[in-house]
Amino acid sequence: MQTGIGRTGKLFAHQWAGIEPDAVAAAKGLGGGFPVGAILAKEKVAACLTPGSHGTTFGGNPLAMAVAAEVLDIILAEGFLDHVQKMGALLKSELENVAADFPKLLGAVNGKGLMLGLKCLVPNTEVSARLTANGLLTVGAGDNNVRFIPPLIIEPRHAAEAVDIVRRACADLSA
Q: Which CATH number fits domain 80-174: 3.90.1150.10, 3.40.1010.10, 3.40.50.2300, 3.90.79.10?
A: 3.90.1150.10
CA–CA dist 68, 39 (Å, integer): 13
Expressed in angstroms, the distance from the first to the final Cα of the chain is 39
**Residues 100-116: pLDDT tens digits?**
999 999 999 999 999 99
DSSP state of 9: S
β-pairing, 115-120 vs 106-112, is: antiparallel
pTM of the model as a whole: 0.90
Report whether pLDDT(169) > 90: yes
Beta strands (DSSP E) in the chain are 23-26, 38-41, 106-112, 115-120, 139-141, 145-148
pLDDT band at 9 (very low <50, low <70, confident <90, very high): very high
User: How do the domains of the chain map onto residue ranges?
Assistant: 14-75, 80-174
**Residues 14-64: pLDDT tens digits?**
999 989 999 998 888 999 889 988 888 999 999 988 877 777 776 678 999
CA–CA dist 159, 157 (Å, integer): 5
Least confident interval from 59-63, 67-71, 78-82, 147-151 = 59-63
Distances (CA, A) of 74 to 5, 29, 60, 82, 172: 10, 12, 22, 13, 39
- CB count within 10 Å of CB 83 equals 17
